[in-house]
Structure formats: C-alpha cells, structure tokens
Amino acid sequence: MQLIMNCHENNELSLNLLEHYFVSTASFVFELTPYSHWKAILYEVMNIQSTFLWNFTDAMTMCVSLYLTSYFRDLNKLIENQQRL
C-alpha cells in the first residue's frame, strides 16, 4: 500500500488509491470484470478467510501428525515388550 501511495501524486488514502491497490494486487479478478468497491471488499474478505483456512489446515495437519507419532511410538513399545516375553 505504501508503494502505491508513493507512486501517487498525493499521499492521502482515498477511494482512488484503494482502487489502484486492489487492481494491482487482484489483477486476475479485475482484468476479467470492471472494478467496483463491493468486489474489492468481497475479494478482501475471501482472502482473509482463505488465509485462516490455510493456517487452520496446517494446524490440523500438525496435530494429526503428532497424534500418529505418539500412537506409533506406543505401538513400537508394545511390540518390543511382546517380543521380550
């Protein structure tokens, strides 16, 4: 955002500046359809939701990995104890 503000004549936050920001960061959306503020807001909400979902998926993957690691360690100990008998 600061880079776009530096390239702009005035360094004030305005709707025109936000339009330039969203058109440059979400060019794949606004190349296909004309820019509108509601689309920019929808894009930003979806971007935040997808980031949250991505992080949640990573956390769940780590939790399942830790569970499986613990399970297989316990299984290994059980097998070792059975072999000693």
What confidence tens digit (pLDDT) does each residue in 8-64 have? 666 666 777 788 889 988 999 999 999 999 999 999 999 999 999 999 999 999 999
Nearest in space to 39 (alpha carbons), one of 11, 13, 18, 54? 18
The pLDDT, as a whole number, for residue 13 is: 65
Mean pLDDT calculated for residue range 67-82: 97
Q: Would you list the domain boundaries of the chain?
A: 2-84
Q: How far apart are CA 66 and CA 38, in angstroms?
A: 42
The pLDDT, as a whole number, for residue 4 is: 62
pTM of the model as a whole: 0.65
The pLDDT, as a whole number, for residue 5 is: 62
> Tokens 């060019």 map to which residue?
27
77 or 12, greater pLDDT: 77
Q: How far apart are CA 61 and CA 77, in angstroms?
A: 24
